[in-house]
């Protein structure tokens, strides 16, 4: 799907070619919350706000867009609320995005888009794990397909190694009892927000990195990990979340992981004052590219 507005004004392409990293939009929300619908407009808003981000990193002078040959593949589909049609379209778009070993950075879309992405990634990567940064586990003991169930369905379909996967940032209230215990029964590791802040981000991610090892990682970043005072424009705002500084520190702490895909989701523009939530989402994408560009430069330096 051709688009005029691209992420950070990079070139639009219909296939990855020799790009190391690609942007792909997933303009979907399943409409399960009648009062917080709007994530289908997230990709467009993130792209628009990304134009406020400069190309060169202020500390290192690196331009990750050039190093990674970043291109924007446009949006996966034009379907906004039909899961039966959207899921196959997202899966096919992701399979196309990971051609030639490119790493996709997807822009959601609500949390429901995680499942078709894992379906695609599991076809390419053995022993795939998920690092889910979110106020919620999205692994609820309910039937069907929506933004509360992608990681429950991923367990049932055997898409990921749950015992080596982590949900980080859980907090707040839930729509039913037993969510915490059920997620652990599926095999997932949970680090709630209180534990993350008490133990510290650096030590927590040292533990996570040790457990995950060299396994391929699907980094699923729900923007409601941040506090609503920082990011009000999300599908399920939850108080007690991360500051922008803490969130960026968490991302930098992922440097030791073998990230094969990044998913930045749940931006809801109708609830986003001045586009600042989308702007931060764009920065998360940029900082993820910095991790990848730094690793790419290290590999070249070592001659590997």
Contact 266, 108 (CB under 8 A): yes
Rounded CA-CA distance 145/191 in Å is 25
Look at residue 54 in the predicted model and tell me its pLDDT.
Answer: 96
Q: Which residues contact 296 (CB under 8 A, 6 or more apart)?
A: 20, 67, 68
144-166 confidence digits (pLDDT tens): 998 889 999 999 999 999 999 99
pLDDT at 126 over 70: yes
Look at residue 297 in the predicted model and tell me its pLDDT.
Answer: 82
Contact 73, 15 (CB under 8 A): yes
* Confidence grade of residue 3 (pLDDT, cut at 50, 70, 90): low
pLDDT at 304 over 60: no
> How many Å separate Cα 128 from the centre of its chain?
15
Tokens of 59: 């500390």
Look at residue 255 in the predicted model and tell me its pLDDT.
Answer: 96
pTM of the model: 0.95
44-100 confidence digits (pLDDT tens): 999 999 999 999 999 999 999 999 999 999 999 766 678 888 999 999 999 999 999
pLDDT at 37 over 90: no
Look at residue 139 in the predicted model and tell me its pLDDT.
Answer: 94
| β-pair type (103-108, 129-133) | unpaired
For the chain, give the percent of residues with pLDDT over 70: 95
Rounded CA-CA distance 120/88 in Å is 10
pLDDT at 143 over 80: yes
Rounded CA-CA distance 130/134 in Å is 12
Look at residue 36 in the predicted model and tell me its pLDDT.
Answer: 77
For the chain, give the percent of residues with pLDDT over 90: 83
Look at residue 78 in the predicted model and tell me its pLDDT.
Answer: 65
What average pLDDT does the segment 128-149 reach? 94
Look at residue 87 in the predicted model and tell me its pLDDT.
Answer: 93
265-282 confidence digits (pLDDT tens): 999 999 998 999 999 999
Look at residue 121 in the predicted model and tell me its pLDDT.
Answer: 98
212-241 confidence digits (pLDDT tens): 999 999 999 999 999 999 999 999 999 999
Mean pLDDT of the residues in the chain: 93
Look at residue 161 in the predicted model and tell me its pLDDT.
Answer: 98
Contact 112, 52 (CB under 8 A): no
pLDDT at 23 over 60: yes
pLDDT at 174 over 90: no
Q: Where do the domains of the chain lie?
A: 7-302
Look at residue 261 in the predicted model and tell me its pLDDT.
Answer: 98
Write b or e for each residue in 2-15: b if 16 or more Cβ atoms lie within 10 A of its Cβ, otherwise e.
eeebbbbebebbee
Look at residue 2 in the predicted model and tell me its pLDDT.
Answer: 58
Rounded CA-CA distance 189/197 in Å is 17
Judge: domain 7-302, CATH 3.40.800.10. yes
* Confidence grade of residue 176 (pLDDT, cut at 50, 70, 90): confident
């Amino acid at each position: 799907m051709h688009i005029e507005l691209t992420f950070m004004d990079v070139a639009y392409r219909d296939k990855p070619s020799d790009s190391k990293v690609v942007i792909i939009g997933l303009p979907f929300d399943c409409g399960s919350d009648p009062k917080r619908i709007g994530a289908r407009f997230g990709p467009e808003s993130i792209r628009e706000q990304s134009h406020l981000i400069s190309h060169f990193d202020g500390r290192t002078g690196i331009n990750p867009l050039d190093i990674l040959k970043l291109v924007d593949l446009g949006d996966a589909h034009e379907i906004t609320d039909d899961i039966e049609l959207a899921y196959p379209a997202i899966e096919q778009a992701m399979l196309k995005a990971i051609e030639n070993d490119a790493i996709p950075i997807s822009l959601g879309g609500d949390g429901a888009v995680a499942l078709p992405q894992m379906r695609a990634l599991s076809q390419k990567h053995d022993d795939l794990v998920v690092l889910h940064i979110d106020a919620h586990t999205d692994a609820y003991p309910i039937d069907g397909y929506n933004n509360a169930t992608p990681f429950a369905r991923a367990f049932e379909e055997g898409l990921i190694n749950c015992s080596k996967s982590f949900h980080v940032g859980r907090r707040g209230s839930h729509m039913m009892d037993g969510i915490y215990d059920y997620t652990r029964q599926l095999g997932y590791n949970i680090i709630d927000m209180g534990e993350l802040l008490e133990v510290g981000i650096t030590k927590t991610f040292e533990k996570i990195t040790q457990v995950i090892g060299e396994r391929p990682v699907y980094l699923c970043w729900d923007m409601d990990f941040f506090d609503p005072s920082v990011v009000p424009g999300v599908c399920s705002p939850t108080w007690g979340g991360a500051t922008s500084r803490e969130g960026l520190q968490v991302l930098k702490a992922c440097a030791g992981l073998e990230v094969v895909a990044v998913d930045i989701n749940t931006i809801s523009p109708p609830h986003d004052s001045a586009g600042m939530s989308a702007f931060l989402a764009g920065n998360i994408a940029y900082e993820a590219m910095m991790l990848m560009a730094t690793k790419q430069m290290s590999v070249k330096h070592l001659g590997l």
